[in-house]
A and B are shown apart, each in its own frame.
Chain A
Amino acid sequence: MSAVATDLQRVVEDAAAHLYVWALKDIPQDLRDALADARERETSVPGRRVLDTIVRNVQVADDEGNLVCQDTGIAVYTCHVGERFPLHPARIYEALRDGTERATLEHPLRSNAVHTITRENTGPNTGYRLPIVHWEFVPDWDGLDVKCVPKGSGSENMSFLKMCVPADGVKGIKQFVLESIVGAGGKPCPPGIVGVGIGGSADYAMYLAKEAITRPIGTRNPDPVVAQLEDELFELLNETGIGPMGLGGDVTVLQCHVEHADTHMTLNPVAVNYQCWAARRATAHVAADGTVDFDREA
């Protein structure tokens, strides 16, 4: 590798190490606002107690410099790589892995990574195919955006896939999302972000559902048809009465985001991926010259 690439790999590694810890400690402003707003809207006694505690917890994390939640999750990164960014994605992956390890050891953070059969720990939040990286490639650009989304298991365990048929239509999609969130009850730490992926294939629908939970709260899909589905699902989900931590109330979800892909004429896949109220994310914008801008709101 050239000296430039070596330096850039180090820059991305440092950025990843910073992002992982930062995301765990300092949740984005849009999320703080959404939680405060939820606290205002909630009328049930246990629901208000939960939201009061959440708001207090975020403040304590700020004051103590501690993690918002103990579940350091699995490290998930989404990368937007410009076609002229001078470091190959193979090396970007190495840098993200090394940065995750360093953050885990240096802080220290709880290490959650295990072999899926033996259940033995595989490393400091790394292992075979861990961390997980989503890639998008951007033409006519020389930068790199890395978003770190530590994904807790309580919410990830509440992931659901259904291969609806075309005749089920949008109604089938809505029914499945509603059933999934009611069935999940308090387990995924509501109120959080419901990510819905529709279209594509089975695997891609779930990939899109994960993409959906990484968006800033309340952003809307650029396709107006999909944005309308987001609005409708958001209203419907908050009518279920599941409430904060499943103890009953008005606020079951902070938002519902939908991502879509075009699909086969006989397919109608629907995937649901839940993100808990501690919807942690942090982004680094890396320029080709190695300058880094950290961004909590992207």
Chain B
Amino acid sequence: MAVHEVTFPITDEAEILKLRAGDEVVVQGHVIGIRDRTQIRIFDQGQEPPMDLRGAFLLHTAPGVRKLDDGRYEKVCIGTTTSARMVRFTEPLGERYGVRAICGKGGFPDEAIEPMRRYGMVYFAIVGGAAALETTQIEEIEEVAWEELMPECLWKFRVKDFGPLTVGIDAHGNSLYHDVQTAAQEKLKELFARL
């Protein structure tokens, strides 16, 4: 299992295609924070996101922040939420907006595999709950849009050495979650027989 460093937003598709399920990745550059209500607004209510998502790395988050007197936001504690609730947005994020990476915790079900293969996207598994560490890897909150959805706004973070992440689903049709679940279902049959 290889170790990679990738800077987002990416401009060269090869950066995504070299990643394989199980690989370790550390991310530099910019990360876009997004969550349930943000994506409901984009896709169910038809509002165009006021940030460029081309080549982007999306993070499933609703950060804890402190608002400063000048209107900017300071990080308090930024962590990651469960991705599976938001799997249905994978295809339009890739097709319409050119998103290249989605990062969250707990994985995506199998319905994400085909859109990720088709649009050259990857799913990065972060360690859920490891927010104290994640917060230190976020250097600054650079932009916030749709503040009325607080904390489920559209966020732009500048990150340094963000990770380590694990490639959960790659752009070649491989999913660790699929493999682990298939093996576990087989194991269950064996365990049930022993009960």
Contacts and interface: CB of A to CB of B under 8 A. Distances in A.
Please report whether the interface of chain A is mostly helix, strand, loop or mixed according to DSSP: loop
Contacts of A245: 105-106, 125, 127-128, 166
Contacts of B164: 49, 53
A49 B107 contact: no
Nearest to A71: B79
A186 B130 contact: no
A28 interface: no
A45 interface: yes
Contacts of B37: 119
Contacts of A57: 127, 129-134
Contacts of B79: 69-71
A182 B106 CA distance: 12
Contact of B129 (A68, A174, A178): A68
A199 interface: no
Given A70-B63, A110-B151, A248-B176, A154 B128 contact: yes
A242 interface: yes
Nearest to B62: A110
B77 interface: yes
Contacts of A247: 125, 166, 168, 176, 180
A43 to B, nearest CB: 14
| Among A69, A109, A239: residue with most chain B CB under 10 A | A69
A241 B180 contact: yes
B28 interface: no
A287 interface: no
A271 B46 CA distance: 40
A290 interface: no
A186 B131 contact: no
B4 interface: no
A56 interface: yes
Interface stretch (A58-66, A79-87, A134-142, A206-214): A58-66
B106 A186 contact: yes
A185 interface: yes
B120 to A, nearest CB: 22
Given A46-B176, A110-B151, A277-B129, A182 B192 contact: no
Contact of B127 (A50, A182, A242): A50
A266 to B, nearest CB: 22
Contacts of A49: 24, 164, 166
B66 A108 contact: yes
B90 to A, nearest CB: 16
Contacts of B82: 153-154, 157, 187
B136 interface: yes
A236 interface: yes
Contacts of B179: 248
A186 B191 contact: no
Given A46-B176, A64-B136, A248-B176, A187 B106 contact: yes
B180 to A, nearest CB: 4
A236 B127 CA distance: 24
B22 A71 contact: no
Given A66-B135, A110-B62, A186-B106, A241 B187 contact: yes
Interface string A63-107: 010111111100000000000000000000000000000000001
Nearest to B136: A60
B51 interface: no
B183 interface: yes
A154 B77 contact: no
Contacts of A68: 129, 131-132
Nearest to A280: B129
Interface in A269-283: 276-278
A110 B105 contact: no
B177 interface: yes
Which 6 A-B residue pairings sit nearest by Cβ, starting from the closest?
A70-B79, A61-B132, A57-B130, A187-B106, A110-B64, A70-B131
6 contacts: A45-B1, A57-B129, A69-B132, A70-B79, A178-B188, A248-B180
Given A45-B1, A53-B133, 14 more contacts: A46-B166, A57-B133, A66-B131, A68-B129, A69-B77, A69-B79, A69-B129, A69-B131, A70-B78, A108-B64, A157-B82, A171-B195, A187-B106, A241-B183
